[in-house]
Amino acid sequence: MSLFSYQNLKKILFKLEPETAHLLAGFGLRTVAHCPTVLRLIKNKFFITEPIITQEIFGKTFQNPVGLGAGFDKDGQYITAMPTLGFGFTEIGTVTPKPQDGNAKPRLFRLIEDSSVQNAMGFNNKGKDFMLEQLKKLYFFDYPLGVNIGKNKLTSEDDALNDYEELFRAFKDTGDYIVINISSPNTPGLRDLQNEKFINDIFALAKEITSQPVLLKIAPDMSKEDAIALCKTAVDAGAAGIIATNTTIDYSLTDSPQKQDFGGISGALLTEKSYELFRAIGEELYGKTLLISVGGIDSAQEAYRRIKAGASLVQVYSMLIYKGPSLIKEINEGLVELLQADGYKHISEAIGADWKDKK
């Protein structure tokens, strides 16, 4: 283990308040982003690309299927550092129309013995104009990018569509896909928008404004039947894909002394719940829309399980905090091995393998 290994860095980061550690990591990434030579050196260490895991999606080349989940880069300030950490794509946001501070601190907790995270951030972000400024600076940087959008806390549910309209207009020509986030637990009433009428209205609106692929991100805290019905409604209304899942509010998952009964839990505690819901959606919707699986992914085996259940892409957030960027490399290298061991020539043959014989 080298002196500069993540396990050594983690010892320092874990002594800090979680949010301070996040800010420090962000500062590091922004600093490194200004040093192309350092970026290249680290990228050579962590970034894996092989034809067997490279895909064309939304007209873009994804050099590997492992992306960064939304919420880490809320303002689009770390995009150029993401390939360096090994990710094949990144999702920025959630961004709201106006800047907002988010919920009161402390609002981010490590559940260390559960390898999990609990957060009640509440869409703290600098707003759409700031993010657009960041994106303008990336004119020549060609990398798959999703923009995850949400309403401001002070916007009522009745006016929520206006916020999303503003965001569709703002981001209609940027990035490679847009994600409608109505599944975070930390904006009061947001998850109530996960209903048929709102889904139909918002995708109709999106269609009028943008030709970008628009995806829906859903919560894990609903029955399989409700989730499938919601996703089907979204796909019929024009969704280009489904991202499952966001964090859970099932606090019974842990007895951790650090547990708070607010916010959303992610990481290892979410793995099974997220997989089970994703699998149900995959059985129903694989082949009909693009599926992205996120929630407690911590190994190549777990990512492969999601792929076989129908995921074209996977995302990681919380386990990056525990394992560092070597995890992303480990997942990509492991995927190549698992695909080859099963005799697949390309990842596309394994996507939805659980259902292929049944359809």
Binding site for ligand FMN (CB under 6 A): 69-71, 74, 93-94, 108, 117, 119, 121, 123, 148, 181, 184, 217, 246-247, 266-267, 270, 294-297, 316-319
Say whether 184 is catalytic.
Answer: yes
**Closer by beta carbon to ligand FMN, 220 or else 355:** 220
Give me the least distance between CB of 40 and ligand FMN, in Å please: 27
Cβ atoms of residues 152 and 100 within 8 Å: yes
Half-sphere exposure of 85 (CA within 13 A, CB side): 28
Give me the least distance between CB of 139 and ligand FMN, in Å please: 25
- Identify the three-state secondary structure at position 69: coil
Beta-strand relationship, 66-68 and 313-316: parallel
Give the sign of the dihedral formed by CA 154, CA 157, CA 160, CA 162.
Answer: negative
Nearest by Cα to 79 from 123, 133, 37: 133
Interatomic CA distance for residues 83 and 90, integer angstroms = 9
Residue nearest ligand FMN, CB atom distance: 71
Interatomic CA distance for residues 260 and 256, integer angstroms = 9
- Catalytic pick among 115, 116, 183, 184: 184
**Closer by beta carbon to ligand FMN, 65 or else 267:** 267
**Closer by beta carbon to ligand FMN, 42 or else 319:** 319
**Closer by beta carbon to ligand FMN, 48 or else 190:** 190
The token duo for 199 is: 């889904």
**Closer by beta carbon to ligand FMN, 22 or else 224:** 22
- Identify the three-state secondary structure at position 216: strand
In terms of Cβ atoms closer than 10 Å to its own Cβ (0-12, 13-18, 19+), residue 121 is buried
Cβ atoms of residues 178 and 206 within 8 Å: yes
Interatomic CA distance for residues 163 and 318, integer angstroms = 28
Cβ atoms of residues 80 and 33 within 8 Å: yes
Give me the least distance between CB of 159 and ligand FMN, in Å please: 20
Give me the least distance between CB of 51 and ligand FMN, in Å please: 27
Give me the least distance between CB of 221 and ligand FMN, in Å please: 12
Give me the least distance between CB of 6 and ligand FMN, in Å please: 16
**Closer by beta carbon to ligand FMN, 88 or else 355:** 88
Which are the catalytic amino acids? 184
